[in-house]
Structure 1
């Protein structure tokens, strides 16, 4: 039997509070919304679910609160097949993301809560989990010190690293040197490049551009892969789906171009349903979709 690729995700775990409305309210304005949904989310949990549905063995490292949201999220992740052995309850509220979806796009406010406990010390206690992985995915919704420690452990053990730099913040050069791929969107890319030596990002940037596809560097030249044309319902979680797809493609030995194409297909399918995790496709669904588009 073929062994499943082992991915470790160090990152945030949130409950998404999603409001569907026809327009985003202005300051001081009150509007009636159309629907309200509670969905498990957080970039770490999202990327873990994306990778599991695509056929990986995924360990999630993070923290939740000792509250109803935390209990519900853990039960959901276990049902999805994510290994939550290394998700620990702490004495704080579970992280939340308040999401307003209007006209197919979204605005998000994140309150980290328990995610703030994913410190360097906490990550160090999970060293063996990271060291035994094929690939590590990290984001920036947990403390930067914990991200740096996770990447450091991965580097020491020859583990491939994908950094999804969201929400964007100033990053130390040492961190960028230790990662293999950085996956910003266009806005994050602009901020990432400010006051930075281009050599630090050379060959590592994979930029998601929504409806314009993905750009990356190949043999010193910039390449672009167009997005799949699809009717969009909700873009929440599309970037996380792409990262999960990219990770699977790389682990399977695809070239960066082919891994990006695969990630594109995963992201496209994820936008056809409401919610970050609920819209994430399975490997079979992605394969069928790709064949239908040829």
Structure 2
């Protein structure tokens, strides 16, 4: 079975649902509030596990009720948590407003994630045993760089989701095989508004780029083939929180299983399409039979 390691964040998502997100200085009345385990690292780990991979999570939670619940959620989805450490202090949290169109605005408080600034003993061994390593930017950059470099030493493919977007040093990008920004992140990284132009600019630094385009699907560019545009299935979106992480987790599984790139992208888009039809991040992520059903629909 495919082995995937995830080095990244664990957050408890504190989600308010409202007709629209408030403007600065504005108060709006919401219709519901939920606490849902999330964080980009945990999201991608759960998405990959439910898509059919054996997954190990490397990161940290706090010594609090949120941390215990997040660990339990990972384990319930089949994610190995032996490399998920518990530290004194609070777990990470994400404060999210979801509007009636399914859009969201998010403020992340790192908490325990801020302590993941290096690889702990045993972490490199977990990475070395994987077929692929998934990385994001919700933990300190030093750990992301260390993880990418460890993966390269052991011939493990790397996928980086550059979120939250920030300048990316060569010491990181030199060890990344696939970069997966969304439209806004791609524009931030390149100062180019057009996704195709942004992806082309990013190819100067990494060998493959996928720019996710929300309901419009995704754009794939590589240095040695024509660009691909993959349409997203048409569905009624309820909540887009976690959809990008669902896409990345499913894509990693498809690529590790050696699916052709067009098929892998379409399969990942099907997974994301299932997720946006449900509320929450981790709670919305589909299991493999659900992805297959959407893919063949």
Q: TM-score range by the shorter chain?
A: over 0.9
Separation in structure 2 between the aligned mates of residue 19 and residue 55 of structure 1, nearest angstrom: 31
Instruction: Kindly state the Cα deviation for residue 203 of structure 1 after the two structures are TM-superposed.
Output: 3.7
Instruction: Kindly state the Cα deviation for residue 91 of structure 1 after the two structures are TM-superposed.
Output: 1.7
**Alignment match, 2:276:** 271
Map residues 62-101 of structure 1 onto 2, 5 A cutoff.
62-101=59-98
Separation in structure 1 between the aligned mates of residue 171 and residue 64 of structure 2, nearest angstrom: 37
Q: What CA deviation, in whole Å up to 9, does each residue of 1:248-269 have, x standing for no partner?
A: 1101101222211111111111
Map residues 15-164 of structure 1 onto 2, 5 A cutoff.
15-103=12-100, 104-122=102-120, 125-164=122-161
Q: Check whether the contact 2:51–2:287 (CA below 8 A) recurs between aligned residues.
A: yes
Separation in structure 2 between the aligned mates of residue 86 and residue 138 of structure 1, nearest angstrom: 15
Map residues 134-283 of structure 1 onto 2, 5 A cutoff.
134-194=131-191, 199-201=203-205, 203-218=207-222, 219-283=224-288
Q: Check whether the contact 1:183–1:207 (CA below 8 A) recurs between aligned residues.
A: yes
Instruction: Kindly state the Cα deviation for residue 160 of structure 1 after the two structures are TM-superposed.
Output: 0.7
Q: Check whether the contact 2:119–2:147 (CA below 8 A) recurs between aligned residues.
A: no
Length, aligned pairs only: 288
TM-score normalised per structure 2: 0.93
CA RMSD in angstroms comes to 1.6
Separation in structure 2 between the aligned mates of residue 127 and residue 153 of structure 1, nearest angstrom: 6
Q: SS of the residue aligned with 2:43? A: helix
Instruction: Kindly state the Cα deviation for residue 77 of structure 1 after the two structures are TM-superposed.
Output: 1.3
Q: What CA deviation, in whole Å up to 9, does each residue of 1:11-55 have, x standing for no partner?
A: 000000000111222333322210000100000000000011011
In structure 1, stretches of 5+ residues that fail to align are: none
Given the superposition, is the C-alpha separation of residues 199 and 109 from structure 1 closer, same or farther in structure 2, using an over 3 Å criterion? Answer: closer
Given the superposition, is the C-alpha separation of residues 258 and 116 from structure 1 closer, same or farther in structure 2, using an over 3 Å criterion? Answer: same
